[in-house]
């Protein structure tokens, strides 16, 4: 699987603001198996900082952050 293009699960957080995208991302990652990738779509300006900090602290990998103009697409791979 090319992680830059596909994900095991997708979470749409567009229209949600801090801390909701973070809470939903944490819950969604908890439901994945180690190594699976979660796609998160978010337009909250704080989302990039919040999600990258969460991933680093929780031992997950931010595979990519893609700016799509009106929102960002995050791919987060679940760690141990």
Q: Which of 3, 14, 16, 18 is catalytic?
A: 18
Q: Assess whether 18 carries a catalytic annotation.
A: yes
Token pair 């830059």 is found at 4
Nearest residue to 44 (alpha-carbon basis) of 78, 7, 76, 11: 11
Q: Are 80 and 59 a contacting pair, CB within 8 Å?
A: yes
Active-site residue list: 18
């Amino acid at each position: 699987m090319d992680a830059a293009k596909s994900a095991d699960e997708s979470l749409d957080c567009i229209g949600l603001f801090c801390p909701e995208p973070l809470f939903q991302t944490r819950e969604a990652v908890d439901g994945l198996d180690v190594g699976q990738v979660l796609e998160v779509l978010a337009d909250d300006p704080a989302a990039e900082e919040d999600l990258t900090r969460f991933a680093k602290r929780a031992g997950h990998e931010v595979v990519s952050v893609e700016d799509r103009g009106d929102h960002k697409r995050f791919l987060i791979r679940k760690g141990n």
